[in-house]
């Protein structure tokens, strides 16, 4: 966990990369496998640290999990343990995704309040409220969220905010509830669509995935399935910003470019040439980028997970940019590290004002979360000298083979193992 990256600035990144399945989908699909007895197989899985973490959570619940490169096989017994192990769960936020499946399958769940990235509070109130409307009682007890029910029944549920995690837990509970559930103001992210598609291949009856309103007709039983994980739009977007920052030329495959429509439009405004293909895109930047304003919003808005990359780009753009963060209040911790590198930035509440500089200056910096770590590596690519990025275990949780792919594009980057 003490590894760091030594990043040498000055390279223009050129070449092609292919993204694997989405971190923000695969962990939820692994959790959803708990809904059906038998063996579910997931393909196109990213080889990242969070996948074996989730495997440990599922093993603690009685499942057998085999990890074979990009394939994950999950064999679920007829009786599932309802108590999610504290030591496994506390390592990462996505572990809370077992709450809905356990409540549906066991009619009770006890899940330790999870850890994860230091990007701000992410309370479970909407998760709990949704489960309660389905007929469960919930409480926070001894550092765990506890849900219990005699039976689950469909309900009309409206979220105060289109929370991805709450949408996922409500869906995975509602699929085995009696009757019809209508979820209004649901999250619309491609990863939600992926979950709906997988559940439907298991025998669920879900319509409206990707829209504001999702309807679930409860069924008595689900069956195991084989399913391919959707491409990772955040990793793909990171490569797009790497091309723009280094005035490079990168082709990205394995992703539906419509999942990054606004992201690619923003890069066009910054001066990039963008070509899209059925399962990929190309970004070419031939001159210093122009300043662009951003505000993060739920999909189809600009993703908060790409906010650090947008900030990194704006620090070396011509002109003044204003970045507004509407999702996670602590994500601007990243800005403090960018200022170590010479960024001209000022923070005002949930806004940051950036004035582009000619060049960043190398310095030791620290990752506070997955995306901040990746953003700092990109910044190191356009800084003079060698930038040491510490705590890169965060990056390992979200980016498979990150340094290898960077080197394939022409970057000079070395992992320093301690």
**Cβ–Cβ under 8 Å, residues 125 and 160:** no
Q: Which residues are annotated as a binding site for UDP-N-acetyl-alpha-D-glucosamine?
A: 93, 305, 327
SS3 state at 357: coil
Residue position matching structure tokens 């025998």: 203
Beta strands across the sheet bearing 320-324: 294-295, 320-324, 351-355, 344-348
Which fold would CATH assign to domain 23-228?
UDP-n-acetylglucosamine1-carboxyvinyl-transferase; Chain (3.65.10)
Give the per-residue pLDDT at 119. Answer: 39
Q: Residue 87: pLDDT above 50? A: yes
Contacting residues for 35 by C-beta, under 8 A, at least 6 apart = 101, 104, 105, 172, 175, 176, 199, 202, 222
Q: Residue 331: pLDDT above 90? A: no
DSSP 403: H
Domains of the chain: which residue ranges? 4-19+231-416, 23-228
Q: Residue 121: pLDDT above 60? A: no
Is-same-fold flag (4-19+231-416; 23-228)?
Answer: yes
CATH architecture of 4-19+231-416: Alpha-beta prism (3.65)
Contacting residues for 363 by C-beta, under 8 A, at least 6 apart = 340, 341, 342, 383, 387
SS3 state at 313: helix
Contacting residues for 123 by C-beta, under 8 A, at least 6 apart = none
Percentage of the chain lying above the pLDDT 70 cut: 95
**Cβ–Cβ under 8 Å, residues 224 and 37:** yes
| Residue 91 pLDDT grade (very low, low, confident, very high; cuts 50, 70, 90) | low
Give how far the C-alpha of residue 77 lies from the chain's centroid of Cα atoms, to the nearest Å.
29
**Long-range pairs of 260-265 with CB within 8 A, sequence gap ≥ 24:** 260/233, 260/236, 261/300, 262/300, 262/301, 262/302, 263/233, 263/237, 263/302, 263/303, 263/306, 264/240
Q: How many residues does the chain have?
A: 418
**Mean per-residue pLDDT for 111-139?**
78
Convert the pLDDT of each residue in 172-182 to its tens digit: 999 999 999 99
E strand segments, 175-333: 180-184, 205-207, 213-217, 226-228, 249-253, 273-277, 280-284, 294-295, 320-324
Q: Residue 141: pLDDT above 50? A: yes
Give the residue numbers annotated as catalytic, written as ranges: 117
> Within the chain, what is the greatest distance between any pair of CA atoms?
64
Cα–Cα dist 76/165, whole Å: 23
Pure H helices in 134-189: 164-174
DSSP 349: T
Q: Which residues are annotated as a binding site for phosphoenolpyruvate?
A: 23-24
Residue position matching structure tokens 């039983």: 221
Convert the pLDDT of each residue in 157-216 to its tens digit: 999 999 999 999 999 999 999 999 999 999 999 999 999 999 999 999 999 999 999 999
**Cβ–Cβ under 8 Å, residues 33 and 76:** yes
Q: Which pTM was predicted? A: 0.94
Convert the pLDDT of each residue in 31-46 to its tens digit: 999 999 999 999 999 9
Residue position matching structure tokens 């298991």: 202
Q: Which residues are annotated as a binding site?
A: 23-24, 93, 305, 327
Convert the pLDDT of each residue in 58-72 to its tens digit: 999 999 999 999 999
**Cβ–Cβ under 8 Å, residues 227 and 43:** yes
């Amino acid at each position: 966990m003490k590894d760091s990256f030594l990043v040498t600035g000055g390279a223009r990144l050129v070449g092609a990369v292919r993204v694997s399945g989405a971190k923000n989908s695969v962990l939820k699909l692994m959790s959803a496998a708990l809904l059906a007895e038998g063996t579910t197989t997931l393909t196109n899985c990213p080889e990242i640290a969070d996948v074996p973490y989730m495997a440990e959570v599922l093993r603690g619940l009685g499942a057998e999990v085999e990890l074979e490169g990009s394939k994950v096989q999950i064999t679920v017994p007829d009786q599932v343990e309802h108590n999610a192990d504290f030591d496994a769960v506390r390592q990462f936020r996505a572990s809370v995704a077992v709450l809905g499946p356990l409540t549906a399958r066991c009619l009770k769940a006890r899940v330790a309040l999870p850890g994860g990235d230091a990007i701000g509070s992410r309370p479970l109130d909407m998760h709990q409220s949704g489960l309660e409307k389905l007929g469960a009682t919930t409480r926070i007890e001894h550092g765990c969220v506890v849900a219990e029910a005699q039976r689950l029944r469909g309900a009309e549920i409206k979220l105060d905010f289109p929370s991805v995690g709450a949408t996922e837990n409500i869906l995975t509970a509602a699929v085995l509830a009696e009757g019809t559930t209508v979820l209004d103001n649901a999250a619309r992210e491609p990863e939600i669509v992926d979950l709906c598609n997988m559940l439907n291949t298991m025998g669920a009856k879900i319509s409206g995935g990707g829209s504001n309103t999702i309807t679930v007709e409860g069924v008595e039983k689900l069956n195991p399935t084989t399913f391919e994980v959707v491409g990772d739009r955040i990793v793909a977007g990171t490569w797009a910003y790497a091309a723009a920052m280094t005035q490079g030329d990168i082709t990205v495959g394995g992703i539906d470019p419509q999942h990054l429509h606004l992201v690619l439009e923003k890069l066009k405004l910054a001066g990039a040439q963008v070509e899209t293909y059925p399962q990929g895109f190309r970004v070419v930047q031939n001159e210093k980028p122009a300043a662009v304003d951003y505000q993060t919003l739920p999909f189809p808005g600009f993703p908060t997970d790409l906010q650090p990359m947008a900030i990194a780009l704006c620090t070396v753009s011509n002109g003044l940019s204003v970045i507004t963060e509407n999702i996670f209040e602590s994500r601007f911790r990243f800005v403090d590290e960018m200022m170590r590198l010479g960024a001209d930035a000022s923070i005002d509440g949930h806004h940051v004002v950036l004035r582009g500089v000619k060049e960043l200056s190398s310095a030791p910096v620290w990752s506070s979360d997955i995306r901040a770590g990746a953003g700092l590596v990109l910044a190191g690519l356009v800084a003079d000298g060698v930038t040491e990025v510490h705590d890169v275990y965060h990056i390992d949780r979200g980016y498979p083979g990150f340094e290898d792919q960077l080197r394939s594009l022409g970057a000079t980057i070395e992992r320093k193992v301690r």
